[in-house]
Structures are given as C-alpha cells and as structure tokens.
A = this chain, B = another copy of it.
Amino acid sequence: MKIVVLGGDGFCGWPTALRLIKSGHRVEIIDNMSRRDIDEELGSNSLTEIAALNTRVDTANQILGWHGRLSYQAFDITKEITRLQNVLYNFKPDAIVHFAEQRAAPYSMISDKHRRYTVDNNIVGTSNVLSSIVEVDPSIHLVHLGTMGVYGYSKDFGAIPEGYLDMKVNSTGQDVSVLYPTNPGSIYHMTKSLDQLLFQFYNKNWGLRITDLHQGIVWGTQTEETSMHEKLGNRFDYDGIYGTVLNRFITQAATEHPLTVYGTGGQRRAFIHISDTAECVKLAIENPHEDTSRVRIFNQVAEVRGVLELANILKEKYGAEVKLYDNPRKELPENELEVSNEGLRSLGFEPITLSDSLIEDCKFIADQFGDRLKRENVMSSPKW
C-alpha cells in the first residue's frame, strides 16, 4: 500500500513509518519539524540522539536496503494546502496516518500563546486533511491518533467502550449509541475531542473512511526497526512537558532522581509501548473497515495501571526512590479505569506489557543518557 505519514518525524510517527516500510509498504512522510523547533523553544532535548530527517530517510533507504520505499517533504499542512493536495494527487496514497498534532497536554497549558497554537495547529491541520481528502480522493482511509484523554475519568459511565456509549434517553425511553460524552483535561485533549466531531461530520456527509485510535500513554523508546541502526534511533522525552509519566519514571530511576508522583498517585491510566503504537497503526491500515456508516474508533491500549503502582514497580525492581509532589494539573486525585481494546485485539494485536520490558528500558536509558540529560528539565511543568 501507499501511505502518507503526517508528522512522520515525531516520537510515534517515525517508528510507525519504519514499521510500515518494513512491512512492504511505500511511505511518504510530511513533517514541519515542529517538535524539533519546540525543543529549541523549551531548551529541552531528546535523551537519545536523533539524526536529521534526511539522514534518517537516507539511512532507511540506502543502508538497510529499503531503497525508494521512504520519502519525505518538510512543510506545514496548516499553511501549505496546495502542497498537501499535490502530494495526494501525485503520490496517490491508499491511507493517510495523521500524527501531525501538538501532542503534549502540559505544552498546551503553558500560556495564551500555547493554548492558541495547539488549537490552530491541530484543528486547522485536521480540517485541511479532511477537506483535501474530499477534494482529491474520498476513498483514502484516514487513520488518526486520538487519545484516551477524550473520555475523561467519570465513574458514571462505567467501563470505557470503543468510542460509542450505549444509553437510554429519559424522555423517550429510546436506546441510543452515541459518541462517548467527552470530558477532556487539557487544551490538547480538547483538540482531540474537536477532531472527533470533524470526523463524525466528514464521515456522515461524504462517507469518508476514518479510523480514530484513542491511544493510551505511550512508554518505551525503541522498536525493532529503530534499533537496527544508530541513525534510525527514536527520540526519548524525559522532561516535565513532553515526557510521558512512565518515560519520566524510567529516566528518573536510571539517573537516581526520586520518581515524581503527582498527588496521591491514585490516577489510573491506560498505557501502551511505542512498538505497539506502530503495530496498531499498521493493523488499522492493513485492515480497513468495510462498513463506513460511522467512524471506526479503537482504544489503542495495552493495560491499565495506577501511577503510584508504576512507581512502586520501579522502586522494587530497580531500587528507585518514590516522592509525592503537589499535582500541577486539575484532575481527579484517584479514579477507576477499565478500558475495552477488543477492536485491535480482533485484528491480531497482542500487547507488550510492562512486566515484559520495563526494566530493560531502564537499563537502555541508563546506558544512553551520558551528558545529554538536563537535570533542570526533569521537574519542568506548567500548573493548571
């Protein structure tokens, strides 16, 4: 198949692009390099060294013998609509994977500018992609990275289904299946809720084939493919803004910093390994749904864990110190969470679980960090 990967230079996009070409697909990456620019803005960095995108692409094509399967163009899909549509006209993709969104909740909450940027970038980007699909070729399958965070953590709604909730309307007694009532916890999560309504309408009016993958919190750093050559290595964020909770714990454990548990650590969250992100996107692309009467929504998660529970695993197995900090976020101090992931399992997804490789990841990071770790960034986070 031919696949466009929007945001293919990023933490999830790059390993996914490699997984797709390794599986025999042809991939064109579009990326505006915004994640690298934000490193400059924040004075942050990836703990692992990452090659420039052209080097990454050359390495994949030449050294590893995947010649011509991977190409890229560096531009901004929110600004260069003609160029985006030209890619669709010329490359003629079967599918588009859409990772081209600002993806850090803390970043979206830093200031007025960051709130507005996150909405502008994410919503205008998604709108441009959808309208371009209608314009150029409505048969293109759009696979989008959503987030478990659109659901929120209310216990009123029970176990989290895959996108749609069965309810009864009090006034009519009618049973209905509706888009799960959204309750995002940050501007970033809110943009994914807005995306859902864009998908719903484009699907309803033009019959677009859309898969929305509500992903849990990603952890880990390398995949089979990114480990094949040093120039293919993936980024690894450990700071308080882009580092996800488990990756921050791994870094903290590996560098003998106390693990920073926010609040009581009673927040339960869904997790997935970076290698499974790539695998699930591949499964969604290789198994497009026939019935396009509504948007296909999968929960892209491996398992549910409590934040303090994770910290305690690292304490026991790796000797890490655990420390409770005031929570900078507005969120429930504790919550239950039960999540269905039947959709992706039915396509063959067999999740990597924490017990499988958590300690190996700690050791990998401990070996890697050298002088790249900026200790002052470990605790950076805006308060909201």
Contacts and interface: CB of A to CB of B under 8 A. Distances in A.
Interface string A125-155: 0011001101100000000000000000001
Contact of A168 (B170, B182, B198): B170
A119 B134 CA distance: 15
A112 interface: yes
A1 interface: no
Contact of A112 (B135, B166, B178): B135
Given A198-B194, A201-B184, A330-B205, A158 B134 contact: no
A167 B169 contact: yes
A303 interface: no
Contact of A131 (B116, B131, B159): B116
B156 A174 contact: yes
A184 B201 CA distance: 7
Interface string A156-182: 111101000111111110111011011
B181 A159 contact: no
Interface string A87-127: 00000000000000000000000001001100110011001
Contact of A171 (B115, B134, B166, B178): B166
Contact of A127 (B120, B186, B201): B120
Contacts of A168: 167-168, 170
A325 interface: no
A267 interface: no
Given A112-B135, A116-B81, A120-B127, A167 B170 contact: yes
A176 B123 CA distance: 29
A176 to B, nearest CB: 5
A352 to B, nearest CB: 28
A199 to B, nearest CB: 10
A369 to B, nearest CB: 35
B157 A172 contact: yes
A382 to B, nearest CB: 12
Given A119-B127, A170-B166, A190 B179 contact: no
Interface string A192-208: 01100110110011000
Which 4 A-B pairs rank lowest in CB-CB distance, beginning with the nearest? A158-B171, A119-B127, A158-B172, A178-B181
